[in-house]
Amino acid sequence: MNAEILAVGTELLMGQIVNTNAQYISDKLNSIGINVYFHSVVGDNPKRLEESIKLALERSDLVVMTGGLGPTKDDITKEIASLVLKKKLVLHEDSYKRLKDFFSNLNREMTENNVKQAYLPVDGIVIPNNKGTAPGCIIEEKGKVTVILPGPPYEMRPMFDEVVLPYLQEKSNFKIVSKYIRTFWIGESKLEAILMDLIDNQDRVTIATYAKSGEVTIRLTCKSKTIDEGLKEIKPFEDEIIKRLGDSVYSTENEELEEVVAKLLIDNNLTISIAESCTGGLISSKLTSVSGISHVFDRGIISYSNNSKIENLGVDQSTINKYGAVSRQTAIEMADGIRKTSGCHFGLSVTGIAGPEGGSDQKPVGLVYLALSHDKETICKELNLFGDRERIRNAAVLHAFDLIRRQIGGIVIG
């Protein structure tokens, strides 16, 4: 079974929003052995939408449509899909009732244009929307499956997970099993050179690499009858690649760096506090995005001003005067200071120049110091990052997590 994801919405073509739905649905479809061959996006234009639906139904067995189910006049997905599929739209009583309840629960008035959201293609399987006003549906016709879902990800995701995915799983008779090996700070072409012979000789287990801001992920994929069989086929390749890449590998479970770090801390009951300057809270906010982190994360200090570095972290005024706020010495005092005042096992600090302003010849934009304090030692790392403010901040965050991972890994293992 091969699939196409067709998003509808002029706001996507205007560049106002990003099509994250396509990513979400693709990931899920692949996980149950459905190949996604195409993503398409088309605007709220009846003729082009009609053509796009027709094309999708020609070249794909499954068409998942998102967006254009709102109450407004430019929401035309159901109308055009029902035209192409020759399925009349009829009022769905249960959806109409849910719609009325939705508004009364919110203490909001239901406006008249909302009613059209309860009209659905006849004979379809209706997918209730627990988070919003637009129900979705599944229509099966001549061996092709069309799924219609609302655009807002928060509404779409549970509808997809709870109704569409189980429905499709029933139809699939094999699995695509993938393992992801994630690495940090190794170039994609260098990595591929290291793995060249494996890539050249790939057969049932395919090997693909892709890069994203300092990270390269290696995907190993195998089609098999069961997940266990697939994993067994992948295992020798996985082991060999991990052996070759050594400690550049930070996850074999497709986790983000912050998840790996959070897990290391939580599993080993190691507490941490974080002092940030140029990253402005980004490290702490990423780390605290992981549920359960409150057991080990004590506090974060975003010491933007020198006063804060002195008052909250105990950095010496003379250190700042002598070496500057962006210096190895200040980074070390920040890390030591937050560790001691918080009483944690680890204190992490970062100070740097994210730009675009604030750089100089001696200390250019992109200069960042990271320090990690532990009662045995405090290590400090100088980074020379490039790019704009956002990129420098994000790279500093990744390097900070990588530093913690390597250090704690060493302490836990050593």
Q: Which is nearer to a copy of itself, 358 or 364 (CB)?
A: 358
The residues, ordered by sequence, that sit 6+ positions from 209 with a Cβ below 8 Å of its Cβ are 188, 191, 192, 195, 216, 217, 218, 219
Closest CA to 187 of 148, 214, 150, 160: 214
Stretch that binds a copy of itself, among 205-213, 239-247, 370-378, 404-412 (CB under 8 A): 205-213
Q: How far, in Å, are 57, 210, 211, 218, 295 from residue 266 at the CA level?
A: 48, 30, 29, 27, 7
Residue 62: CB minimum distance to a copy of itself, A: 13
Q: Which is nearer to a copy of itself, 124 or 312 (CB)?
A: 312
Does position 317 interact with a copy of itself (CB under 8 A)? The reply is no
**Helix (H) / strand (E) containing 293:** none
Cα angle, residue 291 at apex, residues 290 and 295 outer, rounded to 5° = 105
Does position 114 interact with a copy of itself (CB under 8 A)? The reply is yes
Closest CA to 75 of 38, 105, 115, 110: 115
Neighbours of 246 (CB within 10 A): 9
Q: Which of residues 169-188 bind a copy of itself (CB under 8 A)?
A: 178, 187-188
Site of tokens 């970062």: 350
Residue 307: CB minimum distance to a copy of itself, A: 7
> Of these, 100, 144, 171, 219, which contacts a copy of itself (CB under 8 A)?
219
> Of these, 93, 109, 170, 361, which contacts a copy of itself (CB under 8 A)?
109
- Cite the DSSP H helix spans in 142-226: 153-159, 165-169, 188-200
Tell how strand 272-276 and strand 346-352 pair up: parallel
Does position 407 interact with a copy of itself (CB under 8 A)? The reply is no
Residue 223: CB minimum distance to a copy of itself, A: 13
Residue 217: CB minimum distance to a copy of itself, A: 7
Residue 14: CB minimum distance to a copy of itself, A: 5
d(Cα 72, Cα 122) in Å, to the nearest integer? 21
> Of these, 85, 282, 331, 385, which contacts a copy of itself (CB under 8 A)?
282
d(Cα 407, Cα 384) in Å, to the nearest integer? 20
Stretch that binds a copy of itself, among 43-51, 223-231, 259-267, 314-322 (CB under 8 A): 43-51
Does position 307 interact with a copy of itself (CB under 8 A)? The reply is yes
Neighbours of 163 (CB within 10 A): 19
Residue 37: CB minimum distance to a copy of itself, A: 6
Q: Which of residues 354-373 bind a copy of itself (CB under 8 A)?
A: 355-358
Q: Which of residues 4-33 bind a copy of itself (CB under 8 A)?
A: 7, 9-20, 22-30
Q: Which is nearer to a copy of itself, 87 or 327 (CB)?
A: 327
Does position 391 interact with a copy of itself (CB under 8 A)? The reply is yes
- Cβ(370)–Cβ(381) under 8 Å? yes
SS3 label, residue 155: helix
Residue 189: CB minimum distance to a copy of itself, A: 5
Helix axis angle, 328-342 relative to 306-313, nearest 10°? 40
- Cβ(18)–Cβ(160) under 8 Å? no
Stretch that binds a copy of itself, among 79-87, 136-144, 293-301, 401-409 (CB under 8 A): 293-301
> Of these, 193, 244, 360, 382, which contacts a copy of itself (CB under 8 A)?
193
Q: How far, in Å, are 82, 85, 94, 314 from residue 123 at the CA level?
A: 11, 11, 14, 69
Q: Which of residues 59-98 bind a copy of itself (CB under 8 A)?
A: 70-74
> Of these, 129, 248, 312, 329, which contacts a copy of itself (CB under 8 A)?
312
Query: How much is the CA Rg of the chain, to the nearest whole Å?
Result: 26
Does position 37 interact with a copy of itself (CB under 8 A)? The reply is yes
Q: Which is nearer to a copy of itself, 91 or 106 (CB)?
A: 106
Residue 382: CB minimum distance to a copy of itself, A: 15
The residues, ordered by sequence, that sit 6+ positions from 271 with a Cβ below 8 Å of its Cβ are 265, 296, 297, 298, 342, 343, 344, 345, 346
Q: Which is nearer to a copy of itself, 273 or 319 (CB)?
A: 273
Q: Which is nearer to a copy of itself, 22 or 149 (CB)?
A: 22
Q: Which is nearer to a copy of itself, 185 or 236 (CB)?
A: 185
Does position 258 interact with a copy of itself (CB under 8 A)? The reply is no
- Cite the DSSP H helix spans in 92-186: 93-105, 153-159, 165-169
